[in-house]
């Protein structure tokens, strides 16, 4: 009895997480650069009550007798499918097609974003207008070290 209750509770708990992810997708429908997420499930554990048997004599084999003991979240995936581009009227706004990210920095750390709402600050730095983080880029194709894009000449 407890085993069946535990399996049911894990299903309810994990489907609540799926509903949370769906709610987050709906809440972020107008968020710049947001991509949807999905939940995948997997079996948590199975108890083998009787093992499988191989075919012998004139009889075929038998499958194992297993009881599932619930489920768990396998993964919460971010789906980067392309969507339609929108015109913003701002010449400095950019968009990414595919799985890439913009690299921005606060001067200490690098961050990755799909939000392409950019502009120039009062010092002439190319920045993300939401955070003020400076946009980074490469001076040439051979360079592997991102630099502040406003220092590139």
Euclidean distance between CA atoms 134 and 121, whole angstroms: 9
Verify that 46 and 32 share a domain, yes or no.
yes
Q: What is the pLDDT of residue 21?
A: 94
Verify that 39 and 20 share a domain, yes or no.
yes
**Eight-state DSSP code of residue 149:** G
Euclidean distance between CA atoms 124 and 135, whole angstroms: 12
Distances (CA, A) of 24 to 14, 18, 28, 87: 15, 10, 6, 25
Verify that 47 and 89 share a domain, yes or no.
no
Residue that is last in its domain, among 50, 78, 106: 78
Q: What is the pLDDT of residue 146?
A: 62
Beta bridge partners of 119: 127
Verify that 90 and 146 share a domain, yes or no.
yes
Q: What is the pLDDT of residue 29?
A: 84
pTM of the model: 0.58
Residue that is last in its domain, among 43, 78, 113: 78
Verify that 94 and 54 share a domain, yes or no.
no
Verify that 59 and 12 share a domain, yes or no.
yes
Query: Read out DSSP for 27-81?
Result: HTTTSTT---EEEEEEE--EEEEE--B--BTTBPPB--EEEE--EEEEEEEEP--
Average pLDDT, 10 consecutive residues per value, the chain (153 residues): 79 92 90 83 84 88 84 87 78 82 90 89 89 83 61 45
The total number of structural domains that make up the chain: 2
Verify that 153 and 103 share a domain, yes or no.
yes
Boundaries of domain holding 142:
82-153
Q: What is the pLDDT of residue 87?
A: 82
Q: What is the pLDDT of residue 1?
A: 65
Verify that 51 and 93 share a domain, yes or no.
no
Residue pair 148/125 in contact by the 8 Å Cβ criterion: yes
Residue that is last in its domain, among 45, 78, 111: 78
Q: What is the pLDDT of residue 109?
A: 92
Euclidean distance between CA atoms 107 and 87, whole angstroms: 30
Q: What is the pLDDT of residue 45?
A: 78
Q: What is the pLDDT of residue 153?
A: 41
Verify that 24 and 55 share a domain, yes or no.
yes
Verify that 88 and 143 share a domain, yes or no.
yes
């Amino acid at each position: 009895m407890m085993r069946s209750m535990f399996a049911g509770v894990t299903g309810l708990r994990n489907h609540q997480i799926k509903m949370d992810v769906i709610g987050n997708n709906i809440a972020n429908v107008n968020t710049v650069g947001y991509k949807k997420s999905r939940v995948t499930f997997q079996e948590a554990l199975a108890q083998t009550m009787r093992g499988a048997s191989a075919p012998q004599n004139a009889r075929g084999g038998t499958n194992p007798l297993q009881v599932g003991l619930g489920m768990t979240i396998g993964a919460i995936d971010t789906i980067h499918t392309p969507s339609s581009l929108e015109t913003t009227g701002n010449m400095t706004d950019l968009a990414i097609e595919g799985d890439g990210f913009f690299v921005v920095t606060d001067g200490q750390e690098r961050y990755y974003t799909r939000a392409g709402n950019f502009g120039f600050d009062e010092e002439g730095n190319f920045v993300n207008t939401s955070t003020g983080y400076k946009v980074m880029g490469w001076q040439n194709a051979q360079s592997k070290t991102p630099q502040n894009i406003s220092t590139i000449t």
